[in-house]
Amino acid sequence: MLTRLTDVDAPQSGASLPDRLSHWLDWKQAIALSTALDGKPSEPPDDVPAFGQAAEDECLRSRDALIQAIAADRAFVTAAQREAQGMPGIDAANDYAPLRQRYIALQRKIQATTGSLRGNLRDMLAQASPEMARLAEVDAVMELALSPREQSLLGKLPTLLGEYFDGLRQRAQTTSAEPSAAWLDVFRKDMQSVLLAELDVRFQPVEGLLAALRAS
């Protein structure tokens, strides 16, 4: 999706996951991962509820709530909808700034929600069995090690979308003599799609922990 929107050449990597990890983890993180894989799992807290349908429902509700928040956010309201609802348009002199702010706010909401769910599910997994407790510790190590890289990469999205925004606006100005908001509606739709894709990416560890808990 980003390749299509930004004209950036991003070929699929042929490297295996272990090869990738060897570049992503420093020596301290590698030791922590080895300890989690080979060591004795730490004792889980006593006050963690057992995994059940309630936990599944909470994950589903949280994801649905985020999807609805993205769908309903004012940043993605089309020009026709804004006019019908009496909402102000975007100031042409500073038009991307409010969209960027809304994107970052929704990014943070997704991060906070998925981080909380991941931690809760990991605590439940640690109570299931020694094998599952080891998996929970591996997930904790991986989250700690890879989160900064994830944050760095996903944090670039608002800037990339800003470049896409400027390109669309420039093309609209050079190809049409009449002012039109059609390009801005295209941008809003694509920006919303990128945010939903980011939501899918951030929920992958949550879904992995759910799958492990169902199998435990």
Smallest CA-to-CA distance from 41 within 161, 156, 123, 150 is with: 123
- The residues, any chain, with a CB within 8 Å of residue 214's CB and separated by 6 or more, are none
**pLDDT at residue number 88:** 62
**pLDDT at residue number 119:** 93
Q: Mean per-residue pLDDT for 16-24?
A: 81
Rounded to whole angstroms, the Cα distance separating 173 from 183 reads: 10
CB 75 within 8 A of CB 191: yes
**DSSP secondary-structure letter at 181?**
S
Rounded percentage of the chain residues whose pLDDT exceeds 90: 42
Tens-place pLDDT, residues 117-145: 999 999 999 888 888 888 999 999 889 88
Of the two residues 194 and 23, the one the predictor is more confident about is 194
Tens-place pLDDT, residues 53-106: 888 999 999 999 999 999 989 888 877 777 676 666 555 545 899 899 999 999
**pLDDT at residue number 43:** 67
**pLDDT at residue number 100:** 94
Q: Mean per-residue pLDDT for 24-46?
A: 77
3-state secondary structure of 18: helix
- The model carries a pTM of 0.83
**DSSP secondary-structure letter at 187?**
H
What sections of 155-181 are H helices per DSSP?
A: 157-175
**pLDDT at residue number 46:** 65
**pLDDT at residue number 193:** 95
